[in-house]
Amino acid sequence: MVTRRTFLVAGVAGGAALAAAYWLRERRAPPTAAGAQAASVDPDAQAIMAAIIPVLLDGALPSEPPARAAARDEILRDAGAAIRGLPPIAQRELAQLFALLALPPARIALAGVTSPWADAPPAAVAAFLDRWRDSGWKLQRSAYDALHQLVFAAWYGNPRSWPAIGYAGPPALGS
Amino acid sequence: MTAPAATGLPDPVRAGIAGGWRVVDASALERDQILDADVAIVGTGAGGGTAAEILAMAGLRVVLIEEGPLRTSSDFRMRESEAYADLYQESAARRTADKAIGIMQGRCVGGGTTVNWTSSFRTPAITLETWARAHGVSGLSPAALAPYFARMEERLSIAPWEVSPNENNAALARGAARTGLSTASIPRNVKGCWNLGYCGMGCPVNAKQSMLVTTIPAALDRGATLVTRARAHAFALERDRVSALTCVAMDPQGVRPTARTVTVRARAFVAAGGAIGSPALLLRSAVPDPHGLIGKRTFLHPTVVSVALMRDRVDAYSGAPQSTYSDHFIETLPPGGPMGFKLESAPVHPILGAITVPSHGASHARWMRELPHLQVAIALLRDGFHPESPGGRVLLQDDGTPALDYPLTPYVWDGVRRALRTMAQVQFAAGATRVMPVHGDGTAYATWSEAGAAIDDFALAPLATPVVSAHVMGGCPLGGDPRRAVVDDAGRHHHLANLYVLDASLFPTSIGANPQLSIYGIVAKLADGLAATLAPASAGGPGASAQPGPLPPADL
C-alpha cells in the first residue's frame, strides 16, 4: 500500500529524475532553436513510440507487414505533428518523459525494460504499459495517459483505421 | 473513403471578409499595431460575441481580440484529426495541473460556441437563487433575466429539438424512463440543422447559430475590427483605470508568440476569454485584488463517462449529439446536500471513443470494433454548491500561460460513484449487453447487479478515474461585496472603473447545466448596461448611432 508519505517522496524523486534526465539529454545534444520539437523528431523518442505503438494497438493494426509498417509510420508522423501543436510547456514535459525513458538506468528501473527500446520484446513493453497504467504514482499514470492519447488519437484519426471499426467517415455534403 | 465535405455551400463569413470586414490575422503582421476603439473585447466566444454585437449596435467602435484562428464552414470538414488541433485550447489536450481532468475548450473565432454540442438551457432558478442568497448577487433573478434569455433564444434560434433523437439519446431516454427518472428534450441553437452529428468539429452547414455566424458578423457589419491569432497579454493600468491592452501575436500554428504586438487603446475593456483565460489575464495584469479572489472558485462540472455495448446499432457519431437529458439528480439533490448531476449523452467519433476507452491492446481493439454499437452516457456534476466543493484555482505557469489546479475532493468522488451507478443502471435498462464505467483498466460488466457491486468497490482517485470537462466557469465572480466578488453586479471590476468581465468567469458557482445560454443571457443584460454607460444617447439600436470612425488599416 502506498502511503501518502511514500507517494510524496516518490513524486519528488520522480520530478528530480525527470529534470536530471532532461538536463543530461540537453548536455548530450545541445538543443536547437526548435529544441522543444525534440519530442517529435528525436530518434530516442521515435524508438520509444515505435516500441509502444504495436503493443497499444495490438489487435487494431493491419496484420500484413507493409500495411502495418505504413500504419506505424503514419502514427509516428501524426503524433509528431500533434506534439508540435501543443503548448510549449506540454511539449517540454513530453520531451522530459522521452528523455527519461531513453536513459538506460531509468528504462530498466522505472519501465522494467532491459533491452534497448528498438529491441525490446513486446511482452516487456506490454508489462511496462500495464504497470504504468495501474500505477499509484501520478507521474507514471499521467505519462501512460499521455502516450495513450497520443497514439490512439493518431491512429483513430487516420481514415486507414476506420473500416475495421465500422465507421464510414463523415457524411458527404453537397449533391 | 468519404469525399471531403462542404463543396458549394454558402460561407457567409468568407463572403463578409470579401465584402470588406476588418479582420486582421496577427500571425501575419510585419510590424506592431496600435488600434483605437471605444471598447476592446478579449475573446470571441459566448460572452465576447454577445457583447460585441450589443456594443457595436449601440454605435460603439469595437475591437475583438481572439487567440485562436478564424475558421469558417468551408474549413469544417468533420475530421477530428483537424478540428481538435485547430479549434480547441491546447489541441483539446488541456488538463488540470495534476492532469486528472481533461478540459475541452474552444480556441477559435466563436470560441466554445463554434465547437459545442448546441445544448441551450436557461440558468436553473435554483442556481440564480443560490447566487442571490449565498453570494450577494443582485439583479440576476429568474424574472430579471427572463427577457434576456427570451431575446437571446430568439437571436440564436434556440428551441426544443423536435426531430427524433438519435439512438444514443433515445437509449438514454428509454433507460431513464425504465429506471423511473424523468427526461426532457434539449433546446438547441440551430436553424435548418442537417442532423449530421459533427457539431464538435464546427458546423459545416452553418446551421448552428454560434457566435461565428450570428453576433460577430453583425458586429463586423457595423464596423468592428476582429484581430485573430493575438493573445491578450496584459492590461496597462493608470490609477483606477485600464489605459491599454497589450497583445502578443501568435505564430500561424498558435503555439508560440512571434515578436509582434498589438496594442489596443480604448475607453473600456472587456475580459471575455473564458474562465481560465480571463482570470489569467487579470493575474498577468496585476489588477488590484486585495482579497485574493481572482482565479479562485473556478468550476468545471466534473464529468464522468459510462460506455455501453448495445445489441443494435447506435451510430453515436451521427445525428444531433445531445437531444435528451435528465435532471432527476439535480432536482432531487438540492444545494448543500450530496452533489447533484445532470445526465446527458456524448457523441462517439473514433478519436473521442478511442481516448475514452481505458487501457490498450486486445481489449481496447475489441471495444473499438464495436464503435457503431456503443452508447455513451455522461454525468455532469454540479460543483460549487457545497463547502466541500470549492472548485479550482487558476495559476500562472513560468511562461505566463494559465494552469488550473482543481483538487478532486471526497465530496466529488461520492458524486462520481453515484453517477457511475446511475448511468450503468440506466444503460442496462435501455438494453445494454455490457457496460463499462470508465475507470481503471476499463473492466466491463454483464449485469446491473455486477456493475453496481463493482462500482461500490472502485478505488476512485485522480487519474485512475478519468474525469473530463467541457464547461469552465467562475474565477472572477460577480457580486456587490468587494470582499467576495471580483466584479460588481454590472460586471465592472470593483477597483478599476473601465474594466468589465463578461463571460462564464462571472459565475459564483457552476451552472448545473450546459452554460452557453447562461452566458448569453447574463452578458446580454450586462452589455446593455455597458452600452448605456458608454453611449447613453444611442443605446437604442442601429438607427440611432453614429458610424464607427476609421481605424488604422489592417497590416495583412
The 10s digit of each residue's pLDDT in A58-112 is: 999 999 999 999 999 999 999 999 999 999 999 999 999 999 999 999 999 999 9
Q: Which of A156, A158, A162 to mutate to test the interface with B (most CBs of B within 10 A)?
A: A156
Are residues A174 and B8 in contact, defined by beta-carbon separation less than 8 angstroms? yes
Cα–Cα distance, B244 to B251 (Å, whole number): 23
- Continuous segment of H or E residues that includes residue B436: strand B432-437
Q: Which residue of A has its CA nearest to B461?
A: A136
Between chains, do B369 and A152 touch, taking CB under 8 Å as contact?
no
Are residues B76 and B201 in contact, defined by beta-carbon separation less than 8 angstroms? yes
Instruction: Give the pLDDT confidence score for residue B3 in this predicted structure.
Output: 39
Between chains, do B99 and A159 touch, taking CB under 8 Å as contact?
no
Are residues B257 and B231 in contact, defined by beta-carbon separation less than 8 angstroms? yes
Residue B518's SS3 state is helix
Question: What DSSP string runs through B288-307?
Answer: --TT--TT-SEE---EEEEE
Between chains, do A133 and B361 touch, taking CB under 8 Å as contact?
no
Tell me if chain B has a CB within 8 Å of the CB of A124. Answer: no
Instruction: Give the pLDDT confidence score for residue B94 in this predicted structure.
Output: 97
Cα–Cα distance, B358 to B370 (Å, whole number): 15
Give how far B325 is from chain A: nearest CA, Å.
25
- Using CB atoms and an 8 Å cut-off, which of residues 62-91 of chain A contact chain B? 78, 81-82, 84-90
Tell me if chain B has a CB within 8 Å of the CB of A37. Answer: no
In chain B, residues with a C-beta closer than 8 Å to the C-beta of A155 are 354
- Residue-wise pLDDT tens digits, B477-536: 999 999 999 999 999 999 999 999 999 999 999 999 999 999 999 999 999 999 999 985
Between chains, do A56 and B8 touch, taking CB under 8 Å as contact?
no
Assign 3-class secondary structure to B125-192: HHHHHHHHHHCCCCCCCHHHHHHHHHHHHHHCCEEECCCCCCHHHHHHHHHHHHHCCCCEECEEEECC
In chain A, residues with a C-beta closer than 8 Å to the C-beta of B317 are 167
Instruction: State how beta strands B374-381 and B341-345 pair.
Output: antiparallel
Residue pLDDT tens, chain B, 556 long: 333 444 689 999 999 999 999 999 999 999 999 999 999 999 999 999 999 999 999 999 999 999 999 999 999 999 999 999 999 999 999 999 999 999 999 999 999 999 999 999 999 999 999 999 999 999 999 999 999 999 999 999 999 999 999 999 999 999 999 999 999 999 999 999 999 999 999 999 999 999 999 999 999 999 999 999 999 999 999 999 999 999 999 999 999 999 999 999 999 999 999 999 999 999 999 999 999 999 999 999 999 999 999 999 999 999 999 999 999 999 999 999 999 999 999 999 999 999 999 999 999 999 999 999 999 999 999 999 999 999 999 999 999 999 999 999 999 999 999 999 999 999 999 999 999 999 999 999 999 999 999 999 999 999 999 999 999 999 999 999 999 999 999 999 999 999 999 999 999 999 999 999 999 999 999 999 999 999 855 444 443 333 444 444 443 3
In chain B, residues with a C-beta closer than 8 Å to the C-beta of A60 are 364-365, 368
Tell me if chain B has a CB within 8 Å of the CB of A167. Answer: yes
Between chains, do A173 and B5 touch, taking CB under 8 Å as contact?
yes
How is residue B511 annotated by DSSP? Answer: -
Question: What DSSP string runs through chain A?
Answer: ---HHHHHHHHHHHHHHHHHHHHHHHHHS---TTGGGHHHH-HHHHHHHHHHHHHHTTTTS-SSHHHHHHHHHHHHHHHHHHHHTS-HHHHHHHHHHHHHHHSHHHIIIII---S-GGG--HHHHHHHHHHHHT-SSHHHHHHHHHHHHHHHHHHHTSGGGTGGGT---SPP---
Q: How far is CA A65 from CA A74, A160, A163, B165, B284, in A?
A: 14, 15, 18, 43, 53
Between chains, do B317 and A167 touch, taking CB under 8 Å as contact?
yes
Give how far A57 is from chain B: nearest CA, Å.
5
Are residues B531 and B50 in contact, defined by beta-carbon separation less than 8 angstroms? no
Instruction: Give the pLDDT confidence score for residue B228 in this predicted structure.
Output: 98
Give how far B129 is from chain A: nearest CA, Å.
39
Residue type at B355 in one-letter notation: I
Instruction: Give the pLDDT confidence score for residue B463 in this predicted structure.
Output: 96
Between chains, do A157 and B79 touch, taking CB under 8 Å as contact?
yes
Band of residue A10 on the pLDDT scale cut at 50, 70, 90: very low
Of B90, B194, B204, the CB nearest to A87: B90
In chain B, residues with a C-beta closer than 8 Å to the C-beta of A128 are none
Between chains, do B255 and A85 touch, taking CB under 8 Å as contact?
yes
Instruction: Give the pLDDT confidence score for residue B393 in this predicted structure.
Output: 98
Band of residue A20 on the pLDDT scale cut at 50, 70, 90: low
Instruction: Quickly tell me which residue has 508489462 as its cell.
Output: A127
In chain A, residues with a C-beta closer than 8 Å to the C-beta of B349 are 167
In chain A, residues with a C-beta closer than 8 Å to the C-beta of B229 are none
Instruction: Give the pLDDT confidence score for residue A174 in this predicted structure.
Output: 74
Of A126, A152, A159, the CB nearest to B355: A152
In chain A, residues with a C-beta closer than 8 Å to the C-beta of B7 are 173-174
Band of residue A41 on the pLDDT scale cut at 50, 70, 90: low
Of A138, A153, A161, the CB nearest to B355: A153
In chain B, residues with a C-beta closer than 8 Å to the C-beta of A152 are 351, 354-355, 360, 364
Give how far A153 is from chain B: nearest CA, Å.
5
Is this complex's ipTM strictly greater than 0.95? no
When pLDDT is averaged across residues A30-38 and rounded to a whole number, the result is 41
* Chain mean position to CA A89: 17
- Residues forming a β-bridge with B42: B65, B271
Between chains, do A166 and B372 touch, taking CB under 8 Å as contact?
yes
Output the average pLDDT for chain A: 84
What share of chain B has pLDDT > 70, as a percent? 95
Query: Model pTM?
Result: 0.93
In chain B, residues with a C-beta closer than 8 Å to the C-beta of A33 are none
Phi, psi angles (nearest 5°) of residue B103:
-120, 120
Cα–Cα distance, A85 to A105 (Å, whole number): 31
